[in-house]
Amino acid sequence: MIQDRLCQLRDAMAEAEISCYIIPTSDYHNSEYVSQHFGVRTFFSGFTGSAGTLVVTGREAALFTDGRYFIQAEQELAGSSIRLMKMGEADVPDIREYVKEKLPENGNIGFDGRVVMAADGLFYEKVAAEKGGRVIWHLDLADGIWGNRPALPKSPVFILQECYCGEKAADKLVRLRTKIKEAGADLHLLTTLDDIAWLFNLRGADVQCCPVFLAYAVIAQSQCFLFANEKSFGEKEKAYLEALGVSLRPYESFYSFIAGLCQKETADGQAKKILLSERNCNYRVKKELGEQMVIIDRANPTSLMKAVKNETEQENLRKAHLMDGVAVTKFMYWLKKNAGKLPMTELSAAAYLEKLRRENPSFLEPSFPTICAYGENGAIIHYEATEESHAVIKSKGLLMVDSGGHYYEGSTDVTRTFVLGEITEEMRQDFTLVVRAMLRLKSVRFLYGCRGSNLDLAAREVLWEKGLDYKHGTGHGVGFLLGVHEGPNSFRYKENQERREDWMFEEGMVTTDEPGIYREGSHGIRIENELLCRKGEQNAYGQFMYFEDLTYVPIDLDGLDFSAMEKREIEMLDAYHEAVFEKLSPFFEGEELAWLRSVTTCIECTKG
């Protein structure tokens, strides 16, 4: 099937005089997760991971993805003739180098300019020119091949009440306009969906597992335009926007609107200055703005604004995580009691966990596709079980479950690895290392001014001492009823200025703490909590900061070798479990309550 689709794609490329066609994993807004309409890379490759780029030439095809998906990609690309390019590995070119190498003289590079980022498009433009060709960026070749392609999503938009978000949209606009003025810009062009949803206190369901809606926004000092599907807005929402001074325009009219900006000048005859994060805008936006516009390329001010949760959001997040912690802990009780006794698969276990979450009236949807990975599947960092391929869960080994939920009170992301019976000594030592790493990072104290690249070592140190590591960041920011992966804060030792995800930690930022160990063909272990950055003591040395736990779910004591833990690490674990029991016990009774007490027992006390 994939071979047939690639043949059809090459025929379409030849007709359009395209030598090299690039298909990223993206929508028009550079969203992490995309709706089914934008599943073009999956359609032509069969690879279902959430990150990767397919490059197709007349004779070969290559799929580029990162270390999270190497095992998964090898499995899904088998027999397709598509070559897996393991990004970051030795002797593997990056996407740009590969395109430059494969493009023939006088060859043209093709892509849909709405899903390729501006910086990439400009690079391909240069490469094509050097080879005597050009870029053809206005063609989405999937349209003529993907016969039953899903339509663009058009979900209803709703207003997120101030009791949840803690700040009026009108006040957010005032703050944003101040930032626009400080930047010396006439207007701000906003293309990222989570920023738009946050700014206007609106939510939708146009993107899988993200409560956002397809839209663009243009904000000036006296005007504001929102480009979205008008049918997604009811009378209440339209009146709300009108009261905010926001003009609702058709989604498809955005590009003609910004092209029209090029024809206008400010009152003093100078070209308009536009504040725009080029890292987040697509190539077509850049082309429509033209050369005469003055682009002030900076991170969206809303990126940092929304990353710092206000007091109302913080309190709601505590409620959301308490509700979520109850669901995940009840799942743990059910799993430990029934594994090997009841028929159980990765799919049925994930469904049961979602059922527990849905019993809460505040629950909206999962915050990302649940990773329920048994045994060797746990080594696939972003594994997703399917009807065609999933494992039966038995009363032995390890089950890793990475899941989360969107609640009106906020978004959650939690990972626990459960011991279901007999495990190897290697598994036990790996489990202990991961727990030690997670505990050390969440308990760190630091001076204001530190970034994730400063703090990442607190987690990785115990793994590096053993010659081990994991191919993902230690933690990412989390949005408030938005994307579960949010910048600009993160824990990662490798600085990446292009990502702009290594900002100083501010009070109110929420970041995950999720080290792991993955052994292909055997097991995977990850333990994850969300942390809220708080101010601590201020003295002559400066402002000290610390992290407050938001996640309260037991860590499986059955996987630990306490003799391999330092005394202070055991004390950290005991203190955490004491807090888990205190917070969750009012929601348990009888046999479940007795079980909760046993799995949060004080290790230091029993040792004494």
Mean pLDDT, range 383-405, rounded to an integer: 93
The H or E element containing residue 305 is: helix 301-307
Highest mean pLDDT among 64-73, 286-295, 361-370: 361-370
Q: Which residue has the tokens 């043949």?
A: 7
The DSSP output letter for 149 is P
Q: Which of 474, 469, 506 is nearest to 490 (CA)?
A: 474
171 versus 293: which is more confidently predicted?
171
At residue 69, the pLDDT reads 83
CA 419 to chain centre: 27
Contact 477, 508 (CB under 8 A): no
3-state secondary structure 18-86: CCEEEECCCCCCCCCCCCHHHCHHHHHHCCCCCCCEEEEECCCEEEEECHHHHHHHHHHHCCCCCEEEE
How far, in Å, are 464, 492, 518 from residue 471 at the CA level? 13, 10, 9
- Residue 606: is its pLDDT beyond 90? no
Last residue of a domain, one of 267, 300, 333: 300
- The model's pLDDT over 86-126, given as tens digits with 9 standing for 90+, comes to 998 888 999 999 999 999 999 999 999 999 999 999 999 99
Last residue of a domain, one of 95, 115, 144: 144
561, 440: one domain: yes
| CATH number of the domain that residue 246 is part of | 3.40.350.10
Mean pLDDT, range 519-543, rounded to an integer: 97
- Residue 388: is its pLDDT beyond 90? no
322, 260: one domain: no
Q: Which of 313, 349, 563 is nearest to 436 (CA)?
A: 563
The H or E element containing residue 533 is: strand 529-539
Residue 153 counted as domain residue: no
- Residue 267: is its pLDDT beyond 50? no
Contact 177, 301 (CB under 8 A): no
Residue 392 CB: number of other CB atoms within 10 A? Answer: 11
213, 278: one domain: yes
414, 543: one domain: yes
Q: Which of 70-74, 202-206, 394-398 comes out lowest in average pLDDT?
A: 70-74
Residue 149 counted as domain residue: no
214, 284: one domain: yes
Residue 79 CB: number of other CB atoms within 10 A? Answer: 9
- Residue 506: is its pLDDT beyond 80? yes
Contact 43, 5 (CB under 8 A): yes
- The model's pLDDT over 182-217, given as tens digits with 9 standing for 90+, comes to 999 999 999 999 999 999 999 999 998 999 999 999
505's tokens:
């930690």
- Residue 608: is its pLDDT beyond 60? no
316-335 in b/e form (b: 16+ CB < 10 A) is bbbebbbbbbbbbbbbbbbb
Residue 542 CB: number of other CB atoms within 10 A? Answer: 11
205, 313: one domain: no
547 versus 383: which is more confidently predicted?
547
- The model's pLDDT over 304-323, given as tens digits with 9 standing for 90+, comes to 999 999 999 999 999 999 99
**What's the total number of domains in the chain?**
3
SS3 content of the chain, % helix, strand, coil (to 5): 40, 25, 35
70 versus 404: which is more confidently predicted?
404
CA distance 261 to 333: 59
Residue 152 counted as domain residue: no
Peptide bond into 488 cis (omega under 30): yes
- Residue 274: is its pLDDT beyond 90? yes
The H or E element containing residue 276 is: strand 273-276
Residue 62 counted as domain residue: yes
Q: Which of 70-84, 169-183, 202-216 comes out lowest in average pLDDT?
A: 70-84
547, 453: one domain: yes
Three-state DSSP at 486 gives strand
Residue 79 counted as domain residue: yes
| CATH number of the domain that residue 449 is part of | 3.90.230.10
- Residue 266: is its pLDDT beyond 60? no
Residue 590 CB: number of other CB atoms within 10 A? Answer: 7
- Which residue range(s) make up the domain with 505? 308-607
266, 398: one domain: no
70, 20: one domain: yes
Residues 6+ apart with CB under 8 A from 267: none
- The model's pLDDT over 222-239, given as tens digits with 9 standing for 90+, comes to 999 999 999 999 999 999
Last residue of a domain, one of 144, 175, 204: 144
411, 504: one domain: yes
CA distance 595 to 203: 39
- Residue 359: is its pLDDT beyond 60? yes
Residue 136 counted as domain residue: yes
Residue 511 counted as domain residue: yes
317, 235: one domain: no
508, 598: one domain: yes
Residue 151 counted as domain residue: no
- The model's pLDDT over 455-481, given as tens digits with 9 standing for 90+, comes to 999 999 999 999 999 999 999 999 999
CA distance 49 to 68: 9
At residue 498, the pLDDT reads 55
Planar angle of CA 465, 470, 476, nearest 5 degrees? 115
Give the sign of the dihedral formed by CA 304, CA 305, CA 311, CA 313.
negative
Contact 172, 8 (CB under 8 A): no
Residues 6+ apart with CB under 8 A from 363: 323, 357, 405, 406, 407
